[in-house]
Chain A
Amino acid sequence: MKQFLAAVLVGAAALLPAPVALAQDGPLRIEITDGVIEPLPFAVPDFVAETGAAADLSMQIARVVAADLSGTGLFREIPASAHISRVTSFDAPVQYADWKAINAQALVTGGVSVNGNRLTVRFNGYDVFGENTLGEGLQFSGNTDGWRRMAHKVSDAIYSRVTGESGYFDSRVVFVSESGPKNERRKRLAVMDYDGANVQYLTNSSAIVLAPRFSPNGDQVLYTSYESGFPQVHVLDITRLQRRILSPNDGIMSFAPRFAPDGRTVVFSQSQGGNTDIYRMDITSGQLVRLTSAPSIETAPSYSPDGSQIVFESDRSGSQQLYVMPANGGEARRISFGNGRYGTPVWSPRGDLVAFTKQNKGRFHIGVMRTDGSEERLLTSSFLDEGPTWSPNGRVIMFTRETQGANGRATLYSVDISGRNLRPVRTPDGASDPAWSPLQN
């Protein structure tokens, strides 16, 4: 066990300090350096079907668990074709020697039963070389429709036990689904599981919609819609699909809405007379408070997790830069000082970092910096990357990548905050403006 955990911790520690040097290297796409991290080999044999009706799900759930863990870049699955042991009973003792022989350092086994619409999943994690369980076994029950969520919960438990951090697999992403050519692009609000499964559309494509954000408990979504012909802030209850316009309908443009951590307050930008500033609104009373008063563009606000501060972008210095101000407004201090323009800051759920979009020399980057602006690291580089959002555990960033030219298309990507493990997120159509939900309960 100790040996196993030590290996994992080395891996986790290697994630943090790595790319300081990379921030200075031109194209800033961080390559995995030799030997910096070796993904942990693991095995997830098909879960055991404990009732006849569980045959399909017992295999599918194991596949989702394997995909979740492999998708982090921290784990490497040993395929079933290499397995020596077959697990035919969830309760039978694990044959450690067989898993050691194929160098599986972690093993996940499970049992699945289906009775009517009722699905029960039991699982265990094992430290193979320590010949011990990884924490206690757990059991989840629910409707069979929710089988993917149960698989993600298994993955979250395993991930958490191995890395010592909370997981992010049982989460959703709200985004803008895009179709049609650039000059007639149709946009719809949609929500999906973090891995792209279970896409559900929340609006039709009759009006432009932009930049959705989840409420702190994940049951509401704020977004900007041109339904009235002007951009206005809407709030949508995603379970009942009821929505209302939050911003006053007085011909003043409102956009870039985000929730405060209290879930009762929102901040957004309003443009009046060509000037864009940030306002705060009490969501129940509608009371509006102006937070910035500058002749420049102030937008893209994001609260610190404790609700005490707001990071935002402003071009008051002559170009887009990042600033932090108290949540009640007042003096802002600039935190971005590198070359180029900085926008779309998003405070990490851990509170330690701000993710941002950077434009420099005709390229776009997703990056992170400490909340005082130090230790800037660029994680990606392309023709157009923008709009980062944090996984619930603050480990992974999802963002929009748009390709150039007349056939340019927007796609979602995710990347580890180390800059490693850049990967596309599969969506049925083009997709932009992702916003990650909190971990579901």
Chain B
Amino acid sequence: MGISGAKRAICLFAVLGLAACSNATGWSDDGFGSGSAAGAGAGAGTGAGALAPNSPAYFQQTIGDRVLFAVDQHDLGPEARTILAAQAGWLNANPEYTLTIEGHADEQGTREYNLGLGARRANAAQEFLVSNGVAASRIKTVSFGKERPLEICSAEACYAKNRRAVTVIAGGFTS
């Protein structure tokens, strides 16, 4: 819940001070929908001017720190690839940071299988970053299975947001 609060604060700032709120609003409303996250990335030069571009907060809120997956799948769709490419760009520009990729599953599955599924998702994100130039030695992966859902309803609207791989910059936000 802390995360959406933070996002709301960013958007509010943008409403008051800057022009590029529509992108930021879209990003916030649809959670981690990757299309609008890409838009947020495009608007980053203006909308997130308050954040230092090399800060973990900028990475989380402007680049987009998470990608989503289909039910029981771990392959990366076009939207996820767009976000991860942006992540790789940022990570390559800020080589001083290490990162942990957290893989998560929705509640539709047994506990231990979901740990394995989360590990696959984290690994898929890791492999994409590595293939885009991020040193493997900077990356750790961990799976939380279904233990840390972001959304708590038992419906696809929530499940879709819980099936995620989150890139956590060391010293940055966690979810």
Q: Which residues of A contact B (CB under 8 A)?
A: 181-183, 185, 208, 210-211, 229-231, 251, 253, 255-256, 269, 271, 273-276, 297, 299-300, 313, 315, 320, 343-344, 357, 359, 383-384, 386-387, 402, 404-406, 408, 433
Contact = CB atoms under 8 A, between A and B. Distances in A.
Nearest to A209: B147
B123 A344 contact: no
Given A183-B150, A274-B120, A231 B111 contact: no
B8 interface: no
Nearest to B115: A255
Nearest to A273: B123
Contacts of B57: none
A408 B116 contact: no
Interface string B98-140: 0000000001111111011101111110110000000000001
B27 to A, nearest CB: 21
A297 B144 CA distance: 15
Given A183-B152, A297-B120, A405-B153, A271 B111 contact: no
Given A185-B147, A408-B154, A211 B119 contact: no
A343 B115 contact: no
A297 B103 CA distance: 15
Contacts of A231: 115, 142-143
A431 to B, nearest CB: 14
Contacts of B122: 274
A196 B58 CA distance: 49
A271 B140 CA distance: 12
A406 B153 contact: yes
Given A183-B148, A231-B143, A404-B154, A271 B115 contact: yes
B167 to A, nearest CB: 15
B149 interface: yes
Contact of A387 (B74, B111, B116, B141): B111
Does more than half of chain B's interface fall in helix, strand or loop, or is it mixed? mixed
A387 B87 CA distance: 38
A104 B108 CA distance: 48
Nearest to B150: A183
B152 A300 contact: no
B147 A297 contact: no
A230 B142 contact: yes
Contacts of A404: 154
B29 interface: no
Contact of A274 (B107, B119, B144, B147): B119
18 contacts: A183-B150, A230-B142, A253-B119, A269-B112, A269-B116, A274-B74, A274-B120, A274-B126, A276-B119, A297-B116, A299-B115, A299-B116, A313-B113, A359-B110, A405-B153, A405-B154, A406-B153, A406-B154
B30 interface: no
B110 to A, nearest CB: 4
Nearest to B151: A183
B113 A300 contact: yes
Contact of B115 (A182, A183, A229, A253): A253
